[in-house]
């Protein structure tokens, strides 16, 4: 039996009694503190030496799989989303991750061994999603989620390469911008006057605040003297757990004794999101009237009122639920006999009006809360809408200042 003895921790090669050659390489330390020694075996010394050198190369470049649990895509994604991502991202972000993981990735790819997942598996999966009717945005969100999850797996040496960085991402079609016309906005505002919390829709259509920003507004954010609203936080979608011990047979959100397990708001995450916005006098007057109406509701509710300082509330002072708010928007569209549209289209409308009015780009960015790296791209999405309007306006000005001369009378 031949052997090549090396110092402790160094690679070693020896020949066993059966004639096969064996090599051992220390690639790191196991979770329990013991050396992580990997074993390779070949028929000849030359072959085992080559295998040992390759394993050493992988070790030195950080490309050796970490010893321990053998992960499947399902077990890794479940562990990542609940035990890693949930501790470090916002509530809204983790909600999106959970949907991508539990409703798309695990059913579609969960049985694969993690280290055996290939870019082609992902690309075929994205195509299947689109063929089955998933929107391009949904497929793209799934891609971003699995890329983040596999980046973490690579960082922890459960895999050596991230196939999601190689796979072609689903093509994300540019979201169609469909602002409402001036006539449609006027009909919406007229109908909103007949409903509770009318100013909520005026703020959306005139100032372009996001849904969460409007529902997160508190009276301390409204400066009536300066005619300014300060955006500081956003409303989060509520999340509940059973308060009945799961005996009611309903989903947690419909449990008669439901318990909220999520904070109501979170501070805006970017400097661009935290912003003051100048408010037209007409809207400030409407907000003052809304405050008086809220005071009346507070007196009517008496002990049922829970004072939290929100501008827009339920009849008992609670912040509005984003899902309820969405359905109120749909009801408003129907009542005003205005075409159906997303709540985000109200924000598109405000942005388009600002650009048509020729408001400087920097001011538009500040009002809309667009981050510097995204502002130019966001403005470009509206150019095909504002261009024709500006052209018509220019033609009217030209016609007024340089009228076409009358043709001379026929001889």
pLDDT attached to residue 125: 96
- Residue 259 CB neighbours (<10 A): 11
**Vertex 260: Cα angle to 254 and 262 (nearest 5):** 125
Note whether 13 and 3 are within 8 A (CB): yes
- Give the tokens for residue 145: 């989620």
In the numeric block, the tokens 């408010």 are attached to 279
Provide, rounded to the nearest whole percent, the portion of the chain with pLDDT above 90.
Answer: 43
Domain ranges of the chain: 3-60, 73-165, 182-232+268-390
Q: How confident is the model over 179-190, as pLDDT tens digits?
A: 888 788 888 989
Place of tokens 């005139």: 206
Beta strands in 140-295 (DSSP E): 222-223, 228-231, 233-235, 240-241, 259-260, 265-267, 275-278
pLDDT score for 396? 58
Q: Give bridge partners of residue 235 from the DSSP assignment.
A: 265
Domain formed by 73-165, architecture: Orthogonal Bundle (1.10)
Instruction: Please give the pLDDT value at position 1.
Output: 46
Helices (H) and strands (E) in the chain, counts: 15, 11
pTM: 0.66
Residue 397 has a pLDDT of 58
Alpha carbon distance 14, 9 (integer Å): 15
Instruction: State residue 71 phi and psi, 5-degree precision.
Output: -90, 140
Instruction: Place domain 182-232+268-390 in its CATH homologous superfamily.
Output: Intergrase catalytic core (1.10.443.10)
Tell me the pLDDT tens digit for each residue of 85-144: 999 888 888 989 999 999 999 999 999 999 999 999 999 999 999 999 998 889 999 999
Pick out the chain residues at pLDDT < 70. 1-9, 31, 63-69, 174-177, 269, 272, 356-358, 373, 375, 380-411
pLDDT of residue 258: 85
């Amino acid at each position: 039996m031949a052997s090549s003895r090396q110092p402790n921790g160094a690679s070693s090669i020896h020949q066993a009694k059966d004639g096969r050659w064996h090599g051992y390489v220390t690639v790191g330390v196991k979770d329990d503190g013991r050396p992580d020694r990997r074993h390779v075996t070949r028929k000849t010394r030359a072959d085992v030496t080559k295998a040992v050198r390759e394993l050493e190369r992988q070790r030195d470049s950080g490309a050796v799989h970490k010893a321990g649990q053998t992960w499947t895509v399902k077990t890794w994604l479940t562990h990542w989303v609940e035990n890693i991502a949930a501790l470090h991202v916002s509530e809204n972000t983790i909600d999106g991750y959970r949907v991508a993981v539990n409703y798309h990735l695990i059913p579609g790819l969960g049985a694969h061994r993690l280290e055996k997942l290939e870019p082609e598996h992902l690309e075929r999966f994205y195509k299947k999603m689109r063929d089955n009717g998933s929107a391009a945005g949904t497929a793209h969100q799934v891609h971003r989620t699995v890329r983040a999850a596999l980046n973490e797996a690579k960082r922890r040496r459960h895999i050596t390469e991230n196939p999601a960085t190689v796979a072609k991402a689903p093509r994300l079609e540019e979201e169609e911008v469909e602002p409402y016309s001036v006539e449609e906005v006027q009909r919406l505002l007229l109908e909103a006057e007949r409903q509770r919390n009318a100013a909520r829709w005026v703020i959306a259509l005139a100032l372009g605040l996001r849904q969460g920003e409007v529902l997160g507004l508190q009276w301390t954010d409204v400066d009536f003297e300066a005619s300014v609203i300060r955006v500081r936080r956003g409303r989060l979608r509520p999340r509940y757990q059973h308060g009945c011990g799961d005996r009611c047979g309903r989903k947690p959100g419909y449990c008669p004794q439901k318990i909220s397990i999520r904070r109501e708001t979170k501070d805006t995450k970017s400097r661009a999101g935290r912003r003051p916005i100048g408010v037209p006098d007409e809207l400030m007057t409407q907000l003052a009237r809304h405050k008086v109406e809220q005071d009346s509701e507070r007196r009517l509710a008496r002990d049922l009122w829970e004072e939290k300082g929100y501008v827009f509330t339920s009849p008992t002072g609670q912040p509005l639920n984003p899902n309820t708010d969405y359905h109120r928007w749909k009801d408003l569209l129907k009542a005003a006999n205005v075409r159906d549209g997303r709540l985000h289209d109200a924000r598109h409308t405000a942005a388009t009006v600002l650009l048509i009015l020729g408001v400087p780009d920097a001011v538009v960015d500040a009002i809309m809360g667009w981050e510097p790296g995204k502002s130019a791209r966001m403005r470009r999405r509206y150019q095909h809408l504002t261009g024709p309007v500006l052209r018509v306006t220019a033609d009217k000005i030209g016609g007024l200042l340089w009228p076409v001369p009358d043709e001379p009378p026929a001889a």
